Amino acid sequence: SVNTTTYDFGVVAVSSTTNSTNTMFAITNLSTVQTDQTIYVTSNWTGGAGWTHSDTATAGADTAGMKAIRGGDIIVKTSPAPNFLYENCAAATNYTFGLSLLAPTSFTDGVQKAVTVRVSAAAG
């Protein structure tokens, strides 16, 4: 489980990088086995004109990127090919991470955007 289920980056400027704190999201790991935990977004950004989500965390026109911050930057890609947030996580190991938003180099509107970020665990 995670302690924070929503997060608002606030107003973002064109070509900016906005970070949460590195400990914003705390994972409580109740697993009794070692797991491989992945992080991904479920779709493109919604709201108004929407943004495309970059699987390389490279911002562009109406294209945003995202990285997870946990002992280094981890590109947050779209499913079905997510990156590991914590590979070989020992049973019952709790940890924290942050998120970094790489805003588009230009965008069509100023409407609030939303995206769903998921963390999944599988025995590993």
pLDDT for 21:
92
In the three-class reduction of DSSP (H, G, I as helix; E, B as strand; rest coil), residue 100 is classed as strand
pLDDT for 124:
85
Instruction: Over range 21-47, report the average pLDDT.
Output: 96
pLDDT in tens, 64-111: 999 999 989 999 999 888 999 999 999 999 999 999 999 999 999 999
51 contacts: CB under 8 Å, gap ≥ 6: 44, 45, 62, 63, 64, 104, 107, 113
pLDDT at 36 exceeding the cut of 90: yes
pLDDT for 32:
96
pLDDT for 80:
84
pLDDT at 1 exceeding the cut of 90: no
pLDDT for 55:
97
CA torsion 112→62→37→79, rounded to 10°?
Answer: 110
**Can you say whether the dihedral through the CA atoms of 34, 36, 41, 43 is positive or negative?**
negative
CA angle 17, 86, 51 (to 5 degrees): 35
pLDDT in tens, 41-60: 999 999 999 999 999 999 99
